[in-house]
Amino acid sequence: MGGALAIRPSAALLSDLFLSSHHRVLLRCRNNSIHLRTTASPQQPPRRRLATVSPMASAYKPDEARVPPALQLPTPPVTKFKIALCQLSVIPDKERNIAHARKAIEEAASKGAQLVLLPEIWNSPYSNDSFPVYAEDIEAGGDAAPSFAMLSEAARSLQITIVGGSIPERCGDRLYNTCCIFGTDGKLKGKHRKIHLFDIDIPGKITFKESKTLTAGEHPTVVDTDVGRIGVGICYDIRFQELAMLYAARGAHLICYPGAFNMTTGPLHWELLQRARAADNQLFVATCSPARDTGAGYTAWGHSTLVGPFGEVIATTEHEETIIVEEIDYSLIELRRSNLPLGNQRRGDLYQLVDVQRLNSQ
């Protein structure tokens, strides 16, 4: 961290210093001032270090490259399981979209999927005009949230985990782009409201401003499920590498990004960003797009994909409606982290990524 405060104690004495977080305090006297310097604490549990250590390695402080220090990767409840990516067609008929998604989830489960991922905005056309019309009041529930209710029921009756893509959510006078995560008991385990709104302007190609109608979420989302610790981002969230870094430091095995890239940014960046997040953070990344509808106002790129912790594409598809069912093997995470021990090689003496909410919660 290295935040430096200079405190000039005119009539003051500092008698005791206590630590409220992971910081220790170095106290220096210079001129008439007392300088406090905060640094990450050496009392944090030590992590594995590289066997071969270079002469200056003690200065590198890899643990401090994440503030608070990165959590150990938790042991997942299952090592191998099947994930399904349901690349659904979406039409301007909410009732049909819900029934259609229900059928796809059932098919995925029948093929052995223990985790089902749906696309971004799968119950509504992707447009600022549609968001208010198709939005559901998740907190009110019942008739006010039929998409939500279907996902909960499907998860419970099929005993699977569902990362429910996203739907427009109404909460008071605000709208969000929201992903609900359901456990095998059908209960809501977490809710991710898109943190980074899709406001881009590539003249002649694609201009869109989600912020015209939507409000951005206020929290990163990591959920412990029966199929491991899952971080969630929605579409444009994937462009912000900090979010994936933060999820990795919170011990995620897998990051799920429901997303509807378009015909411009799709070929440019969709696979690139997924593979980069997976390889840089040495974890699994799964994405799920709506199927392409060239008649729609917003044309989705498709190409839902599963990427392994070496940045390798494990499964992908074109743009038509389809369901990918593929195995995830979490033992690959440990393998790749032993091949390339990036976590022990980071230079906490030079750069540090701060997870603000995790830090403040300590």
Residue 239 contacts a second copy per CB under 8 A: yes
- Please name which of 150, 152, 84 lies closest in space to residue 118, comparing C-alpha atoms: 84
313 belongs to the binding site for a second copy (CB under 8 A): no
Choose, by CB under 8 A, the member of 78, 99, 133, 350 that binds a second copy: 350
120 is catalytic: yes
245 interacts with a second copy by CB under 8 A: yes
For a second copy, the binding residues in 55-94 under the rule CB under 8 A are 55-57, 59-60, 65, 67
Cβ contact 131:200 at 8 Å: no
Stated length of the chain: 362
Q: Within positions 87 to 146, which residues make up the interface with a second copy, using CB under 8 A? A: none
Catalytic member of 194, 256, 271, 288:
194
SS3 106: helix
Contacting a second copy within 270-299 (CB under 8 A)? 272-273, 275-276, 279-280
Interface with a second copy, residue 29, by CB under 8 A: no
Stretch that binds a second copy, among 54-62, 91-99, 115-123, 146-154 (CB under 8 A): 54-62
Among 235, 256, 271, 288, the one annotated catalytic? 235
| CA–CA gap between residue 67 and residue 292 (Å, rounded) | 41
How crowded is the C-beta side of 223, counted as CA atoms within 13 Å? 22
> At 92, which amino acid appears?
P
Q: Are 171 and 139 in contact (CB under 8 A)?
A: yes
Strands (E), 187-318: 188-193, 199-202, 206-209, 221-225, 228-232, 254-258, 284-288, 305-307, 313-316
CB of 153 to a second copy, least distance (A): 32
Rounded to a whole number of angstroms, the minimum distance from the CB of residue 266 to a second copy is 13
Is residue 177 within a helix (H) or strand (E), and if so which, with residue range? strand 174-182
For a second copy, which is the closer residue by CB, 88 or 279? 279
Mark whether 189 is an active-site residue. no
Hey, which residues does 201 pair with through a beta bridge?
207
Binding of a second copy by 361 (CB under 8 A): no
Distance of CA 44 to the CA centre of its chain: 25
Which one of residues 252, 269, 317, 333 is an interface residue with a second copy (CB under 8 A)? Answer: 269
Question: Which listed residue (26, 50, 99, 133) binds a second copy by CB under 8 A?
Answer: 50
Q: Which stretch binds a second copy (CB under 8 A): 72-80, 134-142, 322-330, 334-342?
A: 334-342
Q: DSSP per residue over 281-308, as a string?
A: HTSEEEEE-PPP-TTSSS-B----EEE-
The piece of 121-129, 137-145, 236-244, 324-332 that touches a second copy (CB under 8 A) is 236-244
Closer residue to a second copy, CB minimum distance, 165 or 343 = 343
Asked whether 62 and 343 are in contact (CB, 8 A), the reply is yes
Output the smallest distance, CB 345 to a second copy, in A: 6
Q: Is 235 among the catalytic positions?
A: yes
Which of 93, 139, 242, 327 touches a second copy (CB under 8 A)?
242
Minimum distance between the CB of residue 352 and a second copy, rounded to whole angstroms? 4
Q: Across-strand partners of 256? A: 232, 286
Between 78 and 202, CB nearer to a second copy: 202
Q: Does 2 bind a second copy (CB under 8 A)?
A: yes
Asked if 283 and 80 count as a contact pair (C-beta separation under 8 A), the reply is no
* Residue in the block written with tokens 């099947």: 82
Window 178-197: residues binding a second copy (CB under 8 A): 195-197
First to last CA, the chain: 15
Nearer of residues 295 and 351 to a second copy, judged by Cβ: 351
Residues classed as catalytic: 120, 194, 235
